Structure formats: C-alpha cells, structure tokens
Amino acid sequence: MTIHNNLKELRKAKGLTQEQVAQQIGLTRQALSSYESGRTRPDVETLMKLAEIYSTDLDGILYGQEKRQKAARRIRVAAGITFVLLSLLTAVSSALLWIANRFFPMTEGQISPEEMILLETRMRLTGAWEFTDGLLLHLPVLAFLLLLLLLVTAPGTYLWKSKILYAGALAAALVVLPLPFGLTDPIFPLSNYLFTPLFVILRLGVFLALDLVIEAFLEKRKR
C-alpha cells in the first residue's frame, strides 16, 4: 500500500473523520483529503503529527499496518496459549485432587496390605496434584509478564474493552472449571479448589493495573 492509502486506513482504524484529524494537527480538511488521495504528500513534521494521532510510527505510515498486524498476531497467540494452558492446569489439578479424595480416601487405624496400596496411590495422586497446583500458582507470572511486554512494546494501543473481556473470560474459566469437582468432593470443601485460581485472578488484576499505568505513562511521554 502507498502512503496515502496508509493514512486513510490508519485514520479509519482510529474511528476519526478527516475534519477531526485536520483540527488536531492544524490543517484544513481539504489538505488532509489531498494527502489521503495522493494528490499531495505531507512533510516529515506533518507525518510525525499524524503518526502520534494514529498511535503508530513513521514505519506504520510508510509501510502500512504490517508491523502492527504482526504485533497483534503475537499478542493473540500468547493470550490464547495462556488461556488454554491455565484452563487446562486448573482442570487437571482439580481432577487429580477429586480422584484422590473420591476413590482413595485416607483410612484410620491399622492399615492392611490392600489399604497400603490404596494409600500409596493416593499419595502419588496428591503429589501430582501438588505439582500441578504449583505450576498453576507460578506459571501465570511468566505468562502475564510476557503479555505485558508484548502489549507495551506493540505499535499503537489496544482497546481496553478487549483486555477486560479477555481477563473476564479467563477469570470465569478459572472459577467455573473447579466447581464440579469442589462441589462433589467428599472430603475437602470448595475453598480448597478455588484458592489457587482466585490467587491467579488476583495476579491478573495486578498485571492489568500495571498495563494501565505503563500505557498512561507512555501516552504522557508522547505529548
């Protein structure tokens, strides 16, 4: 795409009219229209002003949205992997604990050889649960840090509506997946199943707050 087409696409992506953009950079609508039609070409200073309004850089104007699209694709892939991985860990962790309590309960008093086998199986299951639960507790820190890094280094800004929808969907999955196991567990209460997911959701909230602060700081530096 040529520069004038890039300018038009960037303005439309921001949801701005030619009149609104022209007022922000001190031009007439006719002058901006001339740039977007290719009749005239803006100078470097005007391009810089347009890049700031469109939350991009000169590369975004000169070469189009390819850089932005690649960054958005990386963010979508990382967010999707994070969602699937954390949901899977939550389900597996809950299932392991539930199976141990449902089919291999602890026995009191003297233990027979048959009961010893059951106890050993329970210990292996609870060991696997502790390992999986530990992954669920610590892995989100790395995953959320990666997402935060991708977001703050991506060209332009991303709508907070999308971020809130993603966070809400992830939080819902982390809470809903353990419910069938926690509500039917004969030994442990539901709180044992929800403790780690709720802690992950708390960390998700912290990273959203960090993203908001960093985004506001970067926007302030641009002005």
Q: What is the tens place of the pLDDT at every residue in 160-209?
A: 888 999 999 999 999 999 999 999 999 999 999 999 999 999 999 999 99
Q: Measure the CA–CA gap between 181 and 94, rounded to whole angstroms.
A: 6
The yes/no answer on whether domain 3-63 falls in CATH 3.40.30.10 is no
Q: What are the Cα distances from residue 98, in Å, to 61, 87, 182?
A: 55, 17, 7
Residue boundaries of the structural domains of the chain:
3-63, 68-222
User: 53 near 16, Cβ under 8 Å?
Assistant: yes
User: Mean of the pLDDT values across residues 76-83?
Assistant: 96
Model confidence at 107: pLDDT above 80: no
| Most confident among 7-11, 150-154, 192-196 (mean pLDDT) | 192-196
Q: Quote the tokens at residue 142.
A: 């790395």
Going by the DSSP 8-state scheme, the letter that residue 191 receives in this structure is H
Model confidence at 25: pLDDT above 70: yes
Model confidence at 77: pLDDT above 90: yes
Check residues 2 and 187 and name the one with the higher pLDDT.
187
